[in-house]
């Protein structure tokens, strides 16, 4: 695989990725913060749908022997501490590493600072990495998958996951229809929250009915 080919594929895939991220609205700070405050669930809907789709795709490709999997090793301390820091950053940025670039593309000015902070964070980690590689952060179980733990082939586990996620998504959509969570300007801004103690009708939730 030549670098020129890989970069060409990367640009085309990136344009498609950015286009879909923008259409999904998951790059909007209001959607990310809304999800983390459990006020809206668009981020979870996009994320779980993409995971389920990826699982089906990989079940087929890997099941037919066309591709091998690329699992990251399980490094529990690193996964937990790194994941927590990543989560703190996502809430304060209103973005993930990838969607920061989508925010820059559509014109959000603060995303430039998120990007610069991200590059600084990656550089800071790089300086510490040789030291960290001798600590608990490099300890783990290797490339472990839940299919291995269950003793079943990957494709069975992946299709099982996709079915479970599909059921969860149907439930999520019935509970909170996505159109009610987008906001008037499609930015996840649903207006100021209601004052404490005042009941607010939950969109999509059936009203209480008195049976006669």
Partner 1 sequence: MVALTDKAWSPYVAGVLIGLLQIPAFLLIATALGASSSFVTVGGGLFGLADPSILEIDYVAKHVAMTGKNWWQVALVGGVAVGAFLSALMSRSLRRGVSPIWARALGTPSKPARYAVAFVAGFLMLFGARLADGCTSGHGLSGVAQLAVGSTVAVAAMFVGGIATAVLLLRRI
Where in 97-156 is the site for partner 1 (CB under 8 A)? 97-111, 113-127, 129-130, 132, 137, 140-141, 143-147, 149, 154
CB of 77 to partner 1, least distance (A): 9
Considering the complex, state which of residue 109 and residue 211 has its C-beta at the smaller distance from partner 1. Answer: 109
Contact positions with partner 1 (CB under 8 A) in 150-189: 154, 157-158, 161, 169, 173, 178, 182, 185-189
Q: Which is nearer to partner 1, 173 or 202 (CB)?
A: 173
Give the Cβ contact number of residue 18 at 10 Å: 17
- Binding status of residue 211 toward partner 1 by CB under 8 A: no
What region does 204 belong to: left with phi over 0, alpha with psi -120 to 50, or beta? left
Quote the CA–CA distance of 185 and 59 in Å, as a whole number.
38
Nearest in space to 189 (alpha carbons), one of 109, 94, 102: 94
Phi, psi of 74 (to 5 degrees): -80, 110
Q: Binding marks (x or -) toward partner 1, 60..99, rule CB under 8 A?
A: -x----xxxxxxxxxxx-xxxxxxxxxxxxxxxxxxxxxx
In the bound state with partner 1, the residue whose beta carbon lies nearer, of 196 and 212, is 196
Residue with tokens 């996951």: 161
């Amino acid at each position: 695989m030549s670098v020129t080919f890989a970069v060409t594929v990367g640009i085309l895939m990136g344009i498609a990725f950015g286009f879909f991220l923008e259409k999904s609205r998951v790059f909007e700070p209001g959607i990310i913060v809304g999800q983390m405050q459990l006020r809206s669930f668009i981020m979870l809907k996009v994320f779980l749908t993409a995971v389920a789709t990826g699982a089906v795709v990989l079940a087929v490709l890997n099941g037919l022997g066309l591709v091998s999997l690329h699992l990251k090793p399980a490094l529990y301390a690193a996964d937990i501490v790194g994941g927590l820091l990543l989560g703190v950053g996502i809430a304060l940025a209103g973005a993930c590493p990838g969607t920061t670039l989508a925010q820059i593309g559509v014109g959000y000015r603060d995303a430039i600072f998120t990007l610069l902070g991200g590059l600084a964070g990656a550089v800071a980690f790089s300086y510490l990495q040789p030291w960290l590689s001798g600590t608990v952060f490099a300890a783990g179980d290797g490339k472990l998958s839940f299919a291995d733990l269950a003793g079943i082939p990957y494709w069975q586990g992946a299709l099982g996951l996709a079915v479970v996620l599909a059921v969860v998504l149907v439930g999520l959509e019935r509970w909170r229809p996505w159109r009610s969570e987008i906001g008037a300007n499609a930015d996840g801004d649903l207006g100021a929250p209601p004052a404490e103690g005042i009941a607010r009708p939950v969109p999509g939730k059936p009203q209480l009915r008195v049976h006669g």
